[in-house]
């Protein structure tokens, strides 16, 4: 069998700080196959963006990838030479960053930024790159692309800037697209348009997509599989339908229960919340990282390794507590039916 498009195993990302060593990602692993969209979901600070940036080897100083393995089509990304890494970033993988406004240079026109990217990555001539830039803007839904290519980033709306970022990320027809919170701060209509655009590009070009989000609603719309991240660990992974209807980790259930329901519109009922706060990244807690906030915590949770255990085909969880699973079946089925 051919290797998957992307495989991450045992990823550990650490930061040296005046207050000690901070682990942003701890022993995380996931797989993205060619042509599928995998969602990475979790609270702010859970390590999603760090895991995504690790694939590009773009961990900011003083951070570093301390352990683990990242493979792209069987090639070890962490052992690539500077030249191989540049080719990898230019041709094989594209990334949509969280804030499109800060990712675009405010003093250069949109067309210039696209043209220079195409010339640097694909070696195109100026005229050919300019024509390709206009075609990319048209492909991502920018109206009147010939004229808008002469505009500056501040002359675009948030949704239009995000479309430009998608054009930049897919300019070299990469086989893998990393999308870090691509719908943050967008209204629901624009958000739906951006997600539809990502789905179309995935379908037309057959690229694998790793979609980072804190919103389960976004994940449900476009993803084939989902990995749930908490405290730097992947705590559950599986097909989207299985996660929504048969969640096997208390943290996943907490996230699902906090989603507003259409039938509760206009009611004063408060949404359920997960008690407590996310773990302090400077502390290394024994056993399950979610235990301090878990309503099903037991003494055995202090010895949990956080390794994923299969519970169904393609579905695995880091929670081995059988009483939780038994008590959760009815509730998770009800939650899934309402989503």
Comparing CA positions, the residue from 100, 263, 243, 238 lying closest to residue 167 is: 100
Q: Is the predicted pLDDT of residue 332 greater than 50, yes or no?
A: no
Look at the alpha carbons of 326, 327, 328, 333 in this order and tell me if their dihedral is positive or negative.
positive
At residue 323, the pLDDT reads 45
Comparing CA positions, the residue from 220, 222, 169, 190 lying closest to residue 52 is: 169
The 10s digit of each residue's pLDDT in 204-233 is 988 999 999 988 888 888 999 999 999 999
| Average pLDDT score over the chain | 88
Q: CB of 256 within 8 A of CB of 339?
A: yes
Q: CB of 131 within 8 A of CB of 118?
A: no
Q: Is the predicted pLDDT of residue 253 greater than 80, yes or no?
A: yes
C-alpha to C-alpha distance for 144 and 137, rounded to whole angstroms: 9
Dihedral class, residue 244 (left if φ above 0, else alpha if ψ from -120 to 50, else beta):
alpha
- pTM strictly above 0.85: yes
Helix-, strand-, coil-residue percentages of the chain, each rounded to 5? 40, 25, 35
Q: CB of 228 within 8 A of CB of 253?
A: no
Indicate the SS3 state at residue 316. strand
At residue 103, the pLDDT reads 87
Comparing CA positions, the residue from 24, 6, 7, 14 lying closest to residue 233 is: 24
C-alpha to C-alpha distance for 70 and 65, rounded to whole angstroms: 10
Higher pLDDT, 321 or 105: 105
Domain edges within the chain? 34-62+81-99+175-338
Higher pLDDT, 260 or 98: 98
The 10s digit of each residue's pLDDT in 9-56 is 999 999 988 878 889 999 999 999 999 999 999 988 899 999 999 999
If you average pLDDT over residues 259-273, what whole number do you get? 69
In this structure, which long-range contacts are made by residues 99-103, counting pairs with CB atoms below 8 Å and at least 24 apart in sequence? 99/184, 100/158, 100/161, 100/162, 100/164, 100/165, 101/153, 101/158, 101/161, 103/165
Residue 260 structure tokens: 């507003």
CATH 3.30.470.160 fits 34-62+81-99+175-338, yes or no: no
């Amino acid at each position: 069998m051919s290797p998957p498009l992307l495989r991450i195993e045992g990823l550990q990302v650490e930061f040296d700080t005046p207050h000690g060593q901070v682990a942003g990602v701890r022993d995380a692993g996931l797989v993205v196959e060619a042509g599928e969209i995998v969602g990475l979901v979790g609270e702010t600070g859970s390590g999603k963006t760090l895991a995504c940036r690790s694939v590009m080897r773009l961990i900011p100083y003083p951070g570093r990838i301390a352990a683990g393995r990242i493979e792209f089509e069987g090639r070890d990304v962490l052992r690539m030479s500077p030249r191989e890494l540049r080719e990898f970033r230019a041709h094989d993988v594209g990334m949509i960053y969280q804030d499109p406004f800060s990712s675009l240079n405010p003093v250069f026109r949109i067309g210039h930024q696209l043209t220079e990217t195409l010339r640097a990555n694909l070696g195109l001539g100026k005229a050919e790159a300019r024509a390709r830039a206009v075609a990319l803007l048209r492909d991502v839904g920018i109206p009147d692309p010939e004229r808008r290519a002469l505009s500056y980033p501040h002359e675009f709306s948030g949704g239009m800037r995000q479309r430009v970022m998608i054009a930049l990320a897919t300019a070299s027809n990469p086989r893998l697209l990393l999308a870090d919170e691509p719908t943050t701060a967008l209204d629901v209509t624009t958000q739906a348009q951006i997600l539809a655009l990502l789905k179309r590009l995935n379908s037309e070009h057959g690229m694998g997509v790793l979609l980072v989000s804190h919103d389960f609603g976004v994940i449900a719309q476009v993803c084939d599989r989902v990995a749930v991240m908490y405290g730097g660990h992947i705590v559950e992974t599986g097909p989207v339908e299985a996660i929504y209807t048969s969640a096997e980790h208390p943290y996943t259930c907490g996230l699902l229960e906090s989603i507003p329901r259409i039938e509760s519109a206009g009611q004063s009922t408060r949404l359920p919340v997960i008690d407590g706060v996310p773990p302090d990244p400077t502390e290394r807690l024994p056993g399950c990282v979610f235990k301090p906030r878990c309503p099903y915590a037991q003494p055995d949770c202090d010895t949990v390794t956080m390794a994923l255990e299969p519970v169904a085909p393609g579905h695995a969880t880091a929670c081995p507590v059988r009483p939780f699973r038994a008590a959760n079946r009815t509730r998770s089925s009800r939650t899934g039916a309402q989503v």
